[in-house]
Amino acid sequence: MMNIDPRLQQPLLLSLLCAALSGCGHPSETGTAPASAVVRKGAALSVPAASPLRQSLQLATVEEHDVARAIPVPAVVEADPAHLVRVVPPVSGRIGQLLKHLGDTVKAGDALFTMDSADVAAAYSDSGKAQASLTLARHNLERQKELRAADISARKDLEQAESDYAQALSESERSKSRLAQLGAGSGAGGGRLYTLRSPLSGHVIELNGGQGGFWNDTNAPVMVVADLSTVWLSASVQEKDLAAVFAGQTADIELNAYPGEHIAGKVGYVSEVLDPDTRTVKVRVAVDNRNGRLKPGMFARVTFSAAPHRGVVVPASALVQNGTQTQVYVETAAWTFEARTVTTGIHSGDQVEIASGLKAGARIVAKEGVLLND
């Protein structure tokens, strides 16, 4: 370690201290003070020419546009009840042959399946008996008319024959109606085979019965046939939004299965009944589904648009929250701004309606106005 002469220590320390002080000069001696970013003059905020805020603040002119309140609600895809048939056999029996299977396309009148049914055989038997009784009653009536005309029989015999004929005719019509209801022929001796046909065109969307199985539940469908070229979207609209929804109104639909894709629909029905538990009303929207992309059970989001009106609109980024107040900075002179309290209305995307406090034509800070909020 080097030894320093004590006589030289004090001058050396003074030299080092002076050097340190010369390297840490006072701000007033080394440069000018930075310019203020904002200058406040009462309620006015002025941005000087040298302020960096001039590069950050984005200005825009307030405009007036058509504004419509959007009402988004959840929905689910449903088959049109008017074009969906649950094929329930009116008789019990064994399924003989399935002529259509799940997913098959069918036309109205196509045979769906056959059944070997004792009920059908009984219906044919009843029809045959009724026809035979009717024939016998008719012959007896004709004979009684001839006897009465020759004054051989009593009048009461003719009246009885007429009554028997009327009853036989009624029973014959009943048996024919029963066969017609089954879709079977009216002749006797039709056997036990019953063929059930599709009442509409569409697709088999559900199949519950199997070939050779016995079916005795006349309340359960063997299969379901539906025409899905048009489907319904069932939406639940809140009570407070009900006044803005009406039949014939257009609706924008976005399905969970196809995010970002929008489909147009039209309101076909607004329920007359309010659900007391959810305080919502069912609204059905008809949607063209000829391409078959919409499947019953899919979830979707439906947006209804209320009747449009003219309103003052600003970007959402122009709004600055100051405590409980919503404000917009309005340019009163070149690069001079004043905070103005506004009341907002409808929010639509990145645009907000100003219900009060601002008029069209004013220049405002459209972005980064929070930098002025001290």
Give the C-alpha separation, 146 to 126, whole Å. 31
> How large is the average pLDDT for residues 67-86?
91
Given the structure tokens 């310019």, which residue do they identify? 35
Read off the pLDDT band of 133 (50, 70, 90).
Answer: very high
Residues 238-253: tens digit of each pLDDT: 998 888 899 989 899 9
Top-level class of domain 44-67+309-372: mainly beta
> How large is the average pLDDT for residues 21-47?
63
Give the pLDDT confidence score for residue 343 in this predicted structure: 93
Q: What percent of the chain has pLDDT over 90?
A: 55
Strand partners, 310: 66
User: Which region among 25-34, 248-257, 265-274, 322-331 has the lowest average model confidence (pLDDT)?
Assistant: 25-34
Residues 193-214: tens digit of each pLDDT: 888 899 999 999 999 999 899 9
- Write down the mean pLDDT value for the chain: 85
CB 134 within 8 A of CB 171: yes
31, pLDDT greater than 60 = no
Give the pLDDT confidence score for residue 148 in this predicted structure: 84
More confident residue, 20 or 58: 58
Residues 79-119: tens digit of each pLDDT: 999 999 999 998 889 999 999 999 999 999 999 999 998 88
The winner for highest mean pLDDT among 35-49, 114-128, 281-295 is 281-295
Where along the chain do its domains lie?
44-67+309-372, 72-82+227-305, 122-185
Residues 140-179: tens digit of each pLDDT: 999 998 888 888 888 898 899 999 999 999 999 998 888 8
Give the pLDDT confidence score for residue 12 in this predicted structure: 44
Give the pLDDT confidence score for residue 35 in this predicted structure: 55
> How large is the average pLDDT for residues 294-318?
91
Given the structure tokens 């004590």, which residue do they identify? 6
Give the C-alpha separation, 273 to 220, whole Å. 29
CB 263 within 8 A of CB 253: yes
CB 113 within 8 A of CB 98: yes
Give the pLDDT confidence score for residue 14 in this predicted structure: 45
Domain 72-82+227-305 has CATH 3.40.640.10: no
Three-state SS annotation for the chain: CCCCCHHHHHHHHHHHHHHHHHHCCCHHHHCCCCCCCCEEECCEEECCCCCCHHHHCEEEECEEEEECCEEEEEEEEEECHHHEEEECCCCCEEEEEECCCCCCEECCCCEEEEEECHHHHHHHHHHHHHHHHHHHHHHHHHHHHHHHHCCCCCHHHHHHHHHHHHHHHHHHHHHHHHHHHHCCCCCCCCCCEEEEECCCCEEEEEECCCCCCEECCCCCCCEEEECCCEEEEEEEEEHHHHHHCCCCCEEEEEECCCCCCEEEEEEEEEEEEEECCCCEEEEEEEEECCCCCCCCCCEEEEEEECCCEEEEEEEHHHCEEECCEEEEEEEEECCEEEEEECEEEEEECCEEEEEECCCCCCEEEEECHHHHCC
Give the pLDDT confidence score for residue 190 in this predicted structure: 56
40, pLDDT greater than 90 = no
Q: pTM of the full predicted structure? A: 0.61
Give the pLDDT confidence score for residue 319 in this predicted structure: 93
Read off the pLDDT band of 185 (50, 70, 90).
Answer: low
**Listed residue (131, 136, 142, 125) closest to 173, CA to CA:** 131
283, pLDDT greater than 70 = yes
CB 305 within 8 A of CB 348: no
Give the C-alpha separation, 216 to 92, whole Å. 4
Q: Which CATH number fits domain 122-185: 3.40.50.720, 3.10.20.30, 1.10.287.470, 1.10.150.120?
A: 1.10.287.470
Given the structure tokens 């200058």, which residue do they identify? 39
